[in-house]
Amino acid sequence: MFRNRFALILFLLAAAMAAGVLLWREGSNVQGLGRVVSAGQADIGGPFHLIDQEGRKVSDTDFRGRYMLIYFGYSFCPDVCPTTLGVMAAALGKMGADSQKVVPIFITIDPDRDTAKVLKPYMAAFGPRFVGLTGDGAAIAQVEKEFHVYAKKQPLNPAKSSGNYAMDHSSVIYLMGPDGKLVNYYDEAISPGDLAADIKQKMT
């Protein structure tokens, strides 16, 4: 019995070692090993019908044939939103002629305050090619759902802010392809150089 048990232990150890070698060799194809899994198409993005900073009706189909670099935020944001839009602008500035294939788009999560009139000067601060999009509450809620965006109104202390509010929200830059489907997404902490390089690589 002892010999049989010892043989079984040796067999299990050998099998475990073999499995470990296989996983090490094939790790890039196995999910759950601490690597970024890029297989498959993420269910992010979808049709939208909004209003741009000029007051014109705009839909996702108006951008077909070009890449969309999309960020969700709000113009009253004191730090993260303008910083991220600045990163997008700087990245496009590093792309040369390839930047003409990309439309930088800002979609508000605060339609009550971010009207077309408010968005027009705000977008101009980041460059003439930036498109700012707003709409009614239902339209914004729908596009947030399509892109899996988290956004929630956060009341501020009335004694210090005259009853104004901030918006808690996710902070992700989306790169959508000429067909309107997701190509990649980025954390707002990405550098302009890394963002430009990845966009150009995805275009090839």
> Between 82 and 13, where is the model more confident?
82
Strand 67-73 versus strand 102-108 pairing type = parallel
Between the CA atoms of 199, 45, 32 and 189, what dihedral angle is there, to the nearest 10 degrees? 50
Decide: 156 and 131 in contact? Cβ < 8 Å: no
Q: Output the pLDDT for position 204.
A: 87
Q: Give CA 58 to chain center in angstroms.
A: 20
Between the CA atoms of 87, 93, 96 and 99, what dihedral angle is there, to the nearest 10 degrees? 60
How high does pLDDT run on average in the chain?
83
The DSSP bridge partners found for residue 152 are 168
pLDDT tens per residue across span 134-184: 999 999 999 999 999 999 999 887 655 555 899 999 999 999 999 999 999
Q: Output the pLDDT for position 64.
A: 97
Please check the confidence at residue 199 and state whether its pLDDT lies above 70.
yes
Q: Output the pLDDT for position 87.
A: 98
The CA-based angle 30-31-35, given to 5 degrees, is 95
